[in-house]
């Protein structure tokens, strides 16, 4: 069932490719020793190199290169042992040198693949064309003054990885899945935090449409979309626009557009004719980047287990359904949390708790696994206390909520609130007798055949016991009293 845009002349296929700019996690910038932290006072994280003062020269940061290699390996891509830096020349106030140091003809990483999983359970391999390193630009503020734009160069020179996909995506859903998967991989590798809201990961989306089976038509680029949701909306809006243009007899012009989330449409960016004559040439201040094969091998050996491999292992090792495994590995921290709890325990039960109550609690309290109020150790203890009969499932939920609220371990909460499960038969007996006595009419109805009332009695007894009755025993005792 493939996605298409319905036009007046029939269904149109959407062809999408993505260029993602991912800010590299490193202490210093790609070609200068200035820091990369977010949110500092303006122009306090600027080297004279970043500000393109006269006579300044670039020197490449080893960790930035390593991060690009790690990312390439994580994308199952070919690492180019020799790559080169080129200058991309254009004038803009946030580009102090009047050129960006990038890689044009010889990028550090070549072809690779990303596996994406869709809601219907199907999987697709999306091709990666290349990954290259380049400098980020500074920031221009256009809304601080009526007639002037203000320039902050803190971000100028921060390392970016530009990751280009093949035009293999065919729907907004696939594009969303691709972005999420890419973000997961980058976060696993620790090479980018994937935070689209903060701008450490930005997507430029190339969209074109065609009738199924036809050759490609002109594409437009929708730039700087800063959330997965907006990417999906932008694709839909742009595809519709292009279909309208084609169907009304017009021609789609190749251009750069911006997505307006408020109106749900894309609009053309103001561009001058020559905006795209970048006059690329090899940067004469730099030499070819030549990587040591043994260094690449070292980086490869140090890579963490990546999401696809981890998911396969979870399915095999823990017997989880693929969907659950997928959810658990989406964040490495979550996967680690799960495995800590699941060790020596019922893997499926743990999965249910993590994906159920635990995720719900995190959502509700606005926390993440990293700053979770409930530690893996404590969740594990809670599950042990259910297994060994100290508490029943219902009380466990109550204890869990208290753990979320206080951060305390389950044992102390149970003791403090006296929540131990009651297994003492005489206490249960007494409660059952009281309940049955108080509900003689319903007892008669039950005996007359209204079986459903059994649940009512169970509920009442549990209520009378403040939930602490061992459910199995309660059932047994009630049956005995009712004479079944």
Partner 1 sequence: MSLDPATVRRIATLARIHVDDAEIPQLQSELNGILGWIEQLNAVNIEGVEPLTGAARMALKMREDVVNDGGAQDKVLANAPERIGAYFVVPKVVE
Partner 2 sequence: MMLTDLTLAAARSGLRQRAFTSRELTEAHLAAIEALNPRLNAFITVTGEQALAQADAADAALARGDERPLTGVPIAMKDLFCTEGVRTTAGSRILGPFVPPYESTVSANLLRAGAVFLGKTNMDEFAMGSSNMTSAYGAVENPWKRRQDADAVLVPGGSSGGSAAAVAARLALGATGTDTGGSIRQPASFCGIVGLKPTYGRCSRWGVVAFASSLDHPGPLARSVEDCAVLLGAMAGHDPKDSTSADVPLGDYQGACGRSVKGMRIGVPREYRADGMPEEIEALWRQGVDWLREAGAEVVDVSLPHTKYGLATYYIVAPAEASSNLARYDGVRFGLRTNGKDLCDLYERTRAEGFGAEVRRRVLIGTYVLSAGYYDAYYLRAQKVRALILRDFTEAFARVDALLTPTAPSAAFVQGEKMDDPIKMYLNDLFTVPADLAGVPAISVPAGLDANGLPIGLQVIGKPFDEETVFAVGAAIERAASFDALPTIRAGTAQ
Binding region for partner 1 (CB under 8 A): 26-28, 32-35, 41-51, 59-65, 84, 91, 93, 140-142, 144-153, 258, 269-270, 274, 277, 279, 282, 284, 286-290
* Chain Cα centroid distance, residue 250: 39
Cβ proximity to partner 1: between 256 and 423 the closer is: 256
Among partner 1, partner 2, none, partner that 263 touches (CB below 5 to 8 angstroms by kind): none
Q: Give a three-class secondary structure readout of 14-47.
A: EEEEEEEEEECCCCECCCCCCECCCCCCCCCCCC
Member of 9, 260, 281, 444 binding partner 2 (CB under 8 A): 281
Question: Which is it for strands 220-225 and 256-260: parallel, antiparallel or unpaired?
Answer: parallel
Cβ proximity to partner 2: between 48 and 295 the closer is: 48
Q: Which residues 6+ apart lie within 8 Å of 294 measured at CB?
A: none
Task: Please state the length of the chain.
Answer: 484
Among partner 2, partner 1, none, partner that 451 touches (CB below 5 to 8 angstroms by kind): none
Min CB(31)–partner 1 separation in Å: 9
Min CB(70)–partner 1 separation in Å: 13
Cβ proximity to partner 1: between 46 and 169 the closer is: 46
For 220-244, the DSSP string reads: EEEEEE-SHHHHHHHHHHHHHHHHH
How far apart CA 287 and CA 309 sit, in angstroms, is 37
Min CB(151)–partner 2 separation in Å: 7
Are 390 and 420 in contact, with CB atoms under 8 Å apart? yes
**Burial (0-12, 13-18, 19+ Cβ within 10 Å), 189:** buried
Q: Does 286 bind partner 2 (CB under 8 A)?
A: yes
Among partner 1, partner 2, none, partner that 52 touches (CB below 5 to 8 angstroms by kind): partner 2
Cβ proximity to partner 1: between 268 and 484 the closer is: 268
Stretch that binds partner 2, among 89-97, 307-315, 385-393, 460-468 (CB under 8 A): 89-97
Residue at token pair 């325990």: 345
CA-derived radius of gyration, the chain: 30
Helix/strand/coil for 297:
helix
State both tokens at 264: 């749900």
Member of 91, 144, 437, 451 binding partner 2 (CB under 8 A): 91
Min CB(292)–partner 2 separation in Å: 17
CB atoms within 10 A of CB 76: 15
Q: What is the dihedral of CA 99, 101, 104, 109, to 10 degrees?
A: -160
Q: Which of residues 431-460 bind partner 2 (CB under 8 A)?
A: none
Among partner 2, partner 1, none, partner that 123 touches (CB below 5 to 8 angstroms by kind): none
**Residue 192 phi, psi (nearest 5):** -160, 145
State both tokens at 164: 């280009």
Q: Which of residues 97-116 bind partner 2 (CB under 8 A)?
A: 97-99
Q: Does 48 bind partner 2 (CB under 8 A)?
A: yes
Which residues would be at the binding site for partner 2 (CB under 8 A)?
48, 51-60, 87, 89, 91, 93, 96-99, 149, 151, 277, 279-281, 284-287
């Amino acid at each position: 069932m493939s996605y298409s845009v319905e036009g007046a002349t029939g269904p149109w296929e959407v062809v999408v490719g993505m260029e993602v700019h991912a800010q590299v996690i490193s202490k210093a910038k790609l070609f200068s020793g200035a820091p990369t932290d977010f949110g500092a006072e303006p122009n306090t994280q600027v080297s004279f190199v970043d500000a393109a003062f006269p006579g300044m020269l670039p020197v490449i940061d080893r960790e930035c290169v390593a991060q690009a290699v790690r990312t390439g390996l994580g994308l199952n891509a070919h690492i180019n042992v020799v790559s080169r830096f080129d200058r991309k020349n254009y004038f803009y106030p946030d580009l102090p040198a009047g050129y960006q140091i990038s890689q044009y003809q010889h990028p550090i990483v070549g072809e690779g693949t990303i596996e994406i999983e869709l809601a219907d359970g199907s999987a697709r391999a999306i091709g990666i064309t290349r990954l290259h390193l380049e400098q980020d630009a500074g920031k221009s503020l256009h809304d601080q003054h009526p007639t002037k734009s203000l320039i902050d160069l803190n971000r100028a020179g921060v390392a970016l990885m530009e990751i280009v996909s093949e035009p293999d995506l065919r729907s907004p859903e696939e594009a969303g899945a691709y972005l999420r998967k890419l973000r997961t991989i980058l976060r696993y590798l620790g090479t980018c935090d994937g935070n689209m809201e903060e701008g450490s990961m930005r997507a430029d989306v190339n969209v074109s449409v065609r009738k199924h089976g036809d050759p490609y038509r002109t594409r437009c680029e929708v730039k700087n979309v800063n959330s997965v949701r907006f990417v999906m909306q932008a694709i839909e809006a742009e595809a519709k626009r292009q279909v309208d243009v084609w169907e009304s007899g017009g021609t789609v012009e190749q251009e750069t557009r911006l997505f307006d989330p408020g109106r749900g449409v894309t609009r053309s960016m103001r561009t001058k004719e020559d905006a795209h004559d970048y006059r690329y040439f090899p940067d004469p201040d730099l030499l070819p980047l030549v990587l040591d094969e043994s260094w690449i091998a070292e980086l490869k050996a140090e890579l963490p287990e990546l999401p696809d491999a981890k998911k396969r292992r979870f399915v095999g090792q823990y017997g989880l359904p693929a969907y659950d495994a997928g959810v658990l590995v989406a964040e490495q921290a979550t996967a680690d949390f799960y495995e800590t709890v699941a060790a020596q325990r019922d893997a499926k039960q743990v999965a249910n708790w993590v994906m159920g109550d635990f995720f719900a609690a995190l959502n509700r309290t606005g926390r993440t696994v990293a700053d979770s109020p409930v530690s893996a150790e404590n969740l594990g203890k809670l599950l042990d206390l259910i297994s060994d009969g100290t508490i029943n499932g219902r009380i466990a939920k109550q204890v869990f909520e208290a753990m979320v609220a206080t951060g305390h371990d389950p044992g102390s909460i149970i003791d403090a609130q006296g929540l131990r499960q009651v297994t003492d038969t005489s206490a249960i007996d007494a409660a059952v007798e009281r309940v049955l006595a108080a509900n003689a009419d319903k007892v008669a109805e039950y005996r007359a055949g209204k079986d459903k009332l059994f649940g009512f009695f169970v509920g009442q007894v549990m209520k009378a016991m403040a939930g602490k009755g061992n459910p199995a025993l309660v059932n047994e005792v009630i049956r005995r009293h009712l004479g079944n």
